[in-house]
């Protein structure tokens, strides 16, 4: 039987932060988890940025109009596309994680993941089209 120390040695890498960048022998679930974490943190960052941007309204019409001009630039629209990707991926993958956590679709979770990703890709393409054409 393994003692506590040797169990921790095998489960917890010696350098946990560096281990994130070691992509050897990563499986689908591990990539899905890493991307979920990245998009989750990105959404938190966006929430704060969003509040900062909304505070521009306090400066009146001129400040807001200047921002709207910037928001319509291609680079900004591209960032909108990245944000939409994060929302769609995190939301859909989160539904899978929630379902599996509750015991639904545990055996089918690989197929569930790819099905949700196909739906997500369709939503993403439609959203990007709207972002760049409206
Ligand atoms: C459709 C809405 C959402 C769903 C279904 C969802 C679902 C989930 C689930 C299931 C987890 C746990 C993942 C795991 O244990 O592997 C999670 C983590 C997280 N979510 Fe969401 N989420 C949603 C929206 C958001 C939003 C709007 C934000 C940010 C403002 C956010 C930020 C986070 C963060 C920071 C984590 C922790 C990531 C980690 O430490 O791995 N989520 N989410």
Could you read off the pLDDT of 46-57 as tens digits, one per residue?
Answer: 999 999 999 988
Residue nearest atom 7 of ligand 1, based on CA coordinates = 94
Specify whether the CB–CB gap between 43 and 86 falls below 8 A.
yes
Tell me whether residue 77 is in a domain. Answer: yes
* CATH code of the domain in which 120 resides: 1.20.1300.10
Tell me whether residue 78 is in a domain. Answer: yes
Is residue 105 within 6 Å of ligand 1 at its C-beta?
no
Q: How does residue 6 score in pLDDT terms, banded at 50, 70 and 90?
A: low
Is residue 69 within 6 Å of ligand 1 at its C-beta?
no
Number of domains in the chain: 1
Q: How does residue 1 score in pLDDT terms, banded at 50, 70 and 90?
A: very low
Tell me whether residue 19 is in a domain. Answer: no
Closest CA relative to residue 120, chosen from 109, 128, 110:
128
> How confident is the model at residue 21, as a pLDDT?
84
Tell me whether residue 102 is in a domain. Answer: yes
Tell me whether residue 20 is in a domain. Answer: no
Tell me whether residue 14 is in a domain. Answer: no
Residue 109 CA to residue 36 CA, distance in Å, equals 15
Q: What range defines the domain where residue 57 resides?
A: 27-133
Of the CA atoms within 13 Å of residue 85, those in its CB half-sphere come to 12
């Amino acid at each position: 039987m393994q003692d506590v120390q040797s169990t921790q040695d095998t489960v917890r890498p010696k350098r946990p932060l560096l281990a994130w960048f070691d992509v050897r022998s990563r499986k689908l679930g591990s990539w899905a988890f890493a991307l979920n974490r990245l998009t989750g943190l990105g959404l938190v960052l966006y929430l704060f940025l969003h509040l900062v941007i909304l505070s521009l309204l306090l400066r009146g019409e001129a400040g807001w109009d200047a921002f709207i001009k910037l928001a319509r630039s291609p680079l900004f629209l591209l960032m909108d596309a990245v944000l939409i990707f994060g929302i769609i991926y995190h939301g859909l993958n989160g539904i899978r994680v929630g379902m599996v956590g509750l015991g639904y679709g545990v055996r089918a979770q690989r197929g569930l993941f790819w099905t949700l990703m196909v739906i997500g890709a369709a939503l993403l393409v439609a959203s990007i089209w709207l972002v760049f054409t409206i």
